[in-house]
Amino acid sequence: MNRPIRAVAVTAMVMFFALMANLSYLYIGQQDYLNERPENRRVADARFGQDRGPIMVGNTPVAQSDAVKDKYNFQRSYSSGKLYAPVTGFYSYLYRTSALEASYSAQLSGVDNSQFWTRLVNTLSGASQRGGTVQTTLDAKAQKAAWDALGGRKGAVVAIDYKTGAIKALVSYPSYDPNSLATHDLAASTKAWDKLNADSDRPLSNRATREIYAPGSTFKLVTAAAALESGLTADSMVDASSYKLPGSSKVISQNCGGSKITLSQALQRSCNPAFARLGAELGAEAISAQAEKFGFGTKFLTDIGSAASVFPDPETLDAAQTAMSAIGEYETQATPLQMAMVAAAAANDGKVMDPYIVEQVLDSDLKVVSQAHADVVSEAMSSADAAELRKMMVAVVENGTGHRAQIPGVTVGGKTGTARTSADRNPYAWFTAWADDPSVAVCAFVEDADIPATEIAGGAVAAPIVKAVIEALR
């Protein structure tokens, strides 16, 4: 073979191997990228036509795929759309997926690695590919009770089994109907999407886990925990007289039943002067560390989307700002999930459990491929101090601002919260609590409490919601 022919042959061989290498790279390394390209309609059509498995609440599918006679073959439907939308999310041709439909998409469509052998057997036997099942931890009665008690008011409710971390209820209002986005009528889907995104009430927002708000006096539980950890007890005397913020002209005044009261009485009456003064004395570092132990700064329930609760950077706080932060104002921000976790930790001897909303995942043959487990995230406080905090929280419900959460035959401990973020809007209403039977912690948050500023909005508006959820779980 002469030199020119040899050069052409070598060049052709190099180009052939380069082509093979590039195709191999695209097939293996770029497969997900190419499949996700919006213009790849063949892949999009095939994905949307999958027989996805159900998302279950108890024995009831709240999201499922049904066979239909159109080019997509299967229609995703949501039996109680608005009620469970923050958990299920949506499955849409144009707008893809959200919440559990997104985080468990591979399992629901049957292509997850954990379902490889089931998929292989189905392929070899010629059986059609079916998706797996996602079993949630939600309790249908508690979910409905939370929705009904919220009563069409903007806000959220979260209930947690404080011994395990399992979420028993998670409601956000206003909500949306996932069916409007899952429809095969793409024009109708576009119209629904545009309407939802233009809505000033933000129905696509999950207020339970993805939004943070000023927690008001519910944050006094964190400050009280820091005080207990510093050596105080429920019976320690604290100064409840009017308090002029250091370096400021602002004076915090409130009739708390005396100028000297116990720490328990301060929590029972939600005494702002006592807790603001206590916050300044403890210092920003101590309160920040205590908040972090409860979970502030960490995202939980990431499979449905979440935001981290925030206590301001202690290095930026002066004494006045620390005092205001200690009573849940200034720049302190929390999710309803986080404040439920604070109550849960008090009930669980100080241990913070990692919250989870999926109990197990099963393959198409209903074999368990993954199972949730109870995990301790941190120890927010000692068992002895948690017992002191529980005693104080029980006093809030039995004799204080949270009396509307009383349930005959059940020990309930809680804390109210009323947060006014501006003079021209109604306050936030909060109530977070735990019960001994059932072993559940519940937080209710109402974004727009239509109540005079002089009243305890958390006790009047949010406490009855918590009571309804606890009763539904009995």
Amino acid at 458: G
> For 72-196, where are the E strands, in sequence order?
74-77, 91-92, 96-97, 133-136, 155-161, 167-173
DSSP-derived 3-state class of residue 81: helix
DSSP-derived 3-state class of residue 213: strand
Torsion angle of C-alpha atoms 196, 201, 206, 208, degrees rounded to 10: -160
Given a contact cutoff of 8 angstroms between Cβ atoms, the answer to whether 43 and 35 are in contact is yes
User: Rounded to an integer, what is the distance from CA 391 to the centroid of its chain?
Assistant: 27
Give the span between the Cα atoms of 323 and 281, in whole angstroms: 8
Q: Is 131 left (phi over 0), alpha (psi -120 to 50) or beta?
A: beta
> For 285-367, where are the E strands, in sequence order?
351-353, 358-362
> What is the biggest distance separating any 2 CA atoms in the chain, rounded to whole angstroms?
108
Query: What string of DSSP letters covers 295-311?
Result: TTT----TTS-----B-
Crossing angle, helix 319-326 and helix 284-294, to 10 degrees?
Answer: 30
Token output for 233: 């007890």
432, β-bridge pairs:
415, 443
Q: What are phi and psi of 78, to 5 degrees?
A: -130, 110
Respond yes or no on whether the N-terminal peptide bond of residue 203 is cis (omega within 30° of 0).
no
User: Which residues does 154 contact at the CB level (< 8 Å), separation at least 6?
Assistant: 173, 174, 201, 207, 446, 447, 448
Query: Of these residues, 180, 217, 288, 325, which one is catalytic?
Result: 217
- Picking from 391, 385, 401, the residue whose alpha carbon sits closest to that of residue 257 is 401
217 is catalytic: yes
Q: Parallel, antiparallel, or unpaired for β 133-136 and 55-57?
A: parallel
Catalytic site residues?
Answer: 217
